[in-house]
Chains A and B, each alone.
Chain A
Amino acid sequence: QSVLTQPPSVSAAPGQKVTISCSGSSSNIGNNYVSWYQQLPGTAPKLLIYENNKRPSGIPDRFSGSKSGTSATLGITGLQTGDEADYYCGTWDSSLSVGVFGGGTKLTVL
């Protein structure tokens, strides 16, 4: 059981937009910054979004992040087949003093 809650799967057609939600509590998302990771099949996770809505160098602006209260959202526009991956949210839990992840969301581009 993950501390952060994500939908197991989402899907959309190429070119469309999709959002992935991540729900937590006041001890994690509510009072700390959220990051998102993309894990392509058979590879290590890769930082996609940090500090709620910032993109590392090289990440296209098709990827965006937002946070409201104890929930965060990853948005992907102009979906491509290469975006098919597992996506994880993450943050620090101040009460547990640990890093925490969501259970992951599998994106299928139909």
Chain B
Amino acid sequence: QVQLQESGPGLVKPSGTLSLTCAVSGGSISSSNWWSWVRQPPGKGLEWIGEIYHSGSTNYNPSLKSRVTISVDKSKNQFSLKLSSVTAADTAVYYCARDYKLVQEGYYYYYMDVWGKGTTVTVSS
């Protein structure tokens, strides 16, 4: 079964760039799924950051769009998140997830069926 594992620095300096990678095992990133990043600030709810398809198509949260880049590396079976100009407000647990997304007759079937364990990123000098 598919498993996801996030990795990356746990500490990022303010104004720097947060970089995380999600390794996909037990399945192919080139399957008919989208792949997402979700974050959760301490004590708060889930925030959808964005998603990517293996073709490179992306969708981003408008509130983060100017700072976010999600990319895919099919040769390594992984996808990545870059978030620039970070501040303390970007401190959170970051999760990667596998999306199921299908559009039929204008209706979206959408859910995240596999999640990574999450990685904590703290923005501090």
Contacts and interface: CB of A to CB of B under 8 A. Distances in A.
Interface of A: 2, 31-33, 35, 37, 43-47, 50-51, 56, 86, 88, 90-92, 94, 96-104
A44 B116 contact: yes
10 contacts: A31-B107, A31-B108, A32-B110, A44-B117, A51-B111, A86-B45, A92-B110, A98-B48, A99-B36, A99-B110
Which DSSP category, helix, strand, loop or mixed, fits chain B's interface?
strand
B115 interface: yes
B26 interface: no
B118 A44 contact: yes
Contacts of A44: 95, 115-118
B62 interface: yes
A92 B100 CA distance: 11
Which DSSP category, helix, strand, loop or mixed, fits chain A's interface?
strand
Interface string B69-111: 0000000000000000000000000010001110000111111
Contacts of A37: 46, 112
B113 A45 contact: no
Contacts of A86: 45
